[in-house]
Amino acid sequence: GAVVSQHPSRVICKSGTSVKIECRSLDFQATTMFWYRQFPKQSLMLMATSNEGSKATYEQGVEKDKFLINHASLTLSTLTVTSAHPEDSSFYICSALSGPSFNEQFFGPGTRLTVL
């Protein structure tokens, strides 16, 4: 299947700093990417839908000013956690849609964010 990468895989930062997470589709173009967050032993929660060349669509309860999403090209979407706080510590996963079918939504390996 298609490959989606995320960078970094793990990041530890101090409270108040901003962290950027990259999501790349390596061998296909993705007009749509999704960002999820997973807390321990909980489900993957959709945070936002990222469409290339347009503004992201955020789910209810997700602060768009805190979680900045940029989808500047067909192979790259970035999530920036601004002024991170300990409660933002989580596992962030992106997925990329390579076609209209759901089995064509490929997930990245995730990024573990720890805010001290």
Contact set with other proteins (CB under 8 A) = 1, 4, 6, 9, 32, 34, 36, 41-46, 49, 57, 91, 93, 95, 97, 100, 102-103, 105-110, 112
Could you give the C-alpha distances from 33 to 83, 85, 103, in angstroms and in order? Answer: 23, 25, 14
Distance of closest approach, residue 83 Cβ to other proteins, in angstroms? 26
State which residue, 15 or 55, has the beta carbon closest to other proteins.
55
Q: Closer CB to other proteins, residue 28 or residue 82? A: 28
Q: What values do phi and psi take at 81, rounded to 5? A: -90, 110
CB of 16 to other proteins, least distance (A): 26
Asked if residue 46 lies in contact with residue 59, where contact means CB atoms within 8 angstroms, the answer is yes
Rg (CA), the chain: 13
